[in-house]
Chain A
Amino acid sequence: MKKTKLRSWLFSCMVSIIFATSNAWSAQEEKNSSGFAWKDGAEIYAKICAYCHEAQVGPQIRNRELPTKYIRTIVRNGNRAMPAFRISEIDDESLAKLADFISKKEVPH
């Protein structure tokens, strides 16, 4: 067995041993609290979109009745300078709420 292959094999054995003995004291902490979750479309808009789309960096997108499917597609794929947003950042359910929020006409107070 070549030296590098031996080293790789030994390493794999070590990995198995680590999992067999399960040293993960940190794993217990993982059960403590849950992570961040979006409340609604308005919150996502305010905390992400508005920084560009309400600041003359990106185009105005509210009150234009843009189709929700179009909004979802642009968010997931990005468009030129606009970055794409992953499901890990905005989950599908939250994205649907965001698309509704952007698409619907703002009711004047």
Chain B
Amino acid sequence: MTSKYIALPKGVSEKDFDAAISDFRKVLGDASVLTSAEQLAPYIKTMMPVSDAEHTPSAALLATTVEQIQKIVAICNQYKVPIWMISTGKNLGYGAAAPAERGQVVLDLKRMNRILEVDKDLAYALVEPGVTYQQLYDYIKEHKLGLWLSMPAPSAIAGPVGNTLDRGVGYTPYGEHFLFACGMEVVLANGEVLRTGMGSMPNSNTWQVFKWGYGPYLDGIFTQSNYGIVTKFGFWLMPEPPAFRPFVIQYQHEEDIVEIVETIRPLRISGVIPNAVVIAHALYEAPVKAKRSDYVSGPGSIPDEAVYQIMKDHKLGIWNVYAALYGTQEQIDVNWNIVTQAFGQSGKAKILTEQEAADDPAFAYRAKLMRGDMTLTEFSLYNWRGGGGSMWFAPVSQARGSETLKQMALTKQILAKYGLDYSGEFIVGMRDMHHIVDVLYDKTDPEQTKAAYQCFDELLTEFSARGYGIYRVNTAFMDKVAETYGPVQRSVHKTLKKALDPNGILAPGKSGIR
């Protein structure tokens, strides 16, 4: 007999699922419980090199209140139905809106989209999961609050809750987003509502200003996890500085990354350069200005000679260091002297500011990201190979020049083996670097898709063998990455899962936790 559903949750009979769907409809109304293939189509498209069937949901639930979510988890516990929570669902290179496992019910929180509070004086916001950066940006402008956002490159269509819970990063001085998180409200699997930190105390007015509360700090266990459903989220915003000076420093040789990192590290640790600096390879910036097909055709990765030609034609360095200074004009002038002296020593660096580069499309979008303005220009990356295939390979590196060179060379070598290009950048943290590589491939080409899968698998294997951990990964590879962190961490994660969600209804498989 053909099922009336396009997929079913693992281990749940159609009869039980019928009953669960009927109960979901009683809570949410018919229009907010989606089960048809047409309704679920937007939840299936991913950029990963695996069959859509592996990540097809059985249903999607559009909840708008905490009370509804409490009732939903009760139904899920009753019928052992797993739900996969999403906020804006635009984590495109990491799995988008599709669940980790076939048949999971997507709990879509996009319509839970109220900006609950933005405090101008204390510079914080409290929002629901469906709020986008664009929505918050418009709210701040409309109310003339003088605050800046920090967001990832898919800015306008992504949101602070999902991005921070997945421990994403941005490009301003507040770029390490979870560092600036302050207070969550979480619906637990048993339906209880926890407010973390100071939020647990009745009548407290310090929920969004003091992170730690009393006793063990809990917020961390609700990031990259499946221990609860975050329904409210507080975070700090940066006061708009009186002056802002973005700049780019270009270098011509791949091995110059050693000098770049050794020069930046002391400036970043001491706070002279306060923002999350990006060291972008020419092939990360090229898609904004150039077409791959103008330089190379046929299979295989792009040769170095073609990359040098692109650099020459489009005024790019092989490394392009984007950073900015923030503060009063006097502060910026002092720090600018320190920066230019540090980078000027070897004679290899070419330093450009808005004066020289304002019209350059790569510089323009990077400057926007560093001041928290909306732009989706980085999506140009997806035109490089075409065909809608993308996975973010994201190992962590020490902020040490020799390490970055090793990681870059290893990544490039493995990508080339599978005919793929090195579209990489390093985002400089306080002492670490997020090495971010967009593994781009044509998903309409079965051979390239197969190669991309094997390539990504080998990247994970080879990097973990050398002690390089991955900080975040798409839903097709979560178990593999969890395994690289060893059995004790997996066991602790599992123990917490059993304690907080014994029926395993919340996002089974997230970060390899079941």
Contact = CB atoms under 8 A, between A and B. Distances in A.
A74 to B, nearest CB: 11
Given A35-B114, A78-B45, A19 B78 contact: no
A87 B34 contact: yes
B110 A88 contact: yes
Contacts of B60: 86
B156 interface: yes
A87 B99 CA distance: 17
A83 B96 contact: yes
Nearest to A10: B502
A16 B77 CA distance: 10
Given A15-B73, A24-B70, 12 more contacts: A19-B74, A26-B195, A35-B112, A35-B114, A47-B134, A57-B376, A77-B42, A79-B388, A81-B379, A84-B43, A88-B108, A89-B89
A45 B374 CA distance: 14
Interface stretch (A48-56, A60-68, A96-104): A48-56
A80 B444 contact: yes
A86 B189 CA distance: 26
The 6 closest A-B pairs by CB, nearest first: A81-B382, A84-B42, A51-B376, A88-B110, A80-B388, A30-B65
Interface residues on A, range: 35 or more
B129 to A, nearest CB: 11
Contact of B65 (A7, A27, A88): A27
B263 interface: no
B387 A80 contact: yes
A23 B156 contact: no
A63 B60 CA distance: 35
11 contacts: A15-B77, A15-B191, A18-B70, A24-B70, A24-B193, A26-B231, A36-B114, A48-B156, A56-B380, A57-B380, A85-B42
B484 interface: no
B113 to A, nearest CB: 4
Contacts of A77: 41-42, 45
Contacts of A56: 380
A18 B190 contact: yes
A95 to B, nearest CB: 11
Most interface-central of A12, A14, A15, A86 (chain B CB within 10 A): A86
A83 B90 contact: yes
Given A36-B113, A84-B45, A11 B66 contact: no
B373 to A, nearest CB: 11
A77 B96 CA distance: 13
A87 B89 CA distance: 12
A84 B380 CA distance: 17
Contact of A57 (B42, B135, B379): B379
B64 interface: yes
Interface string B40-57: 011111010000000000
Interface in A1-23: 4, 7-8, 11-12, 14-16, 18-19, 23
Nearest to B96: A83
B67 interface: yes
Given A76-B42, A84-B45, A19 B70 contact: yes
A33 B131 CA distance: 14
A87 B39 contact: yes
Contacts of B376: 51-52, 55, 57
Nearest to B374: A51
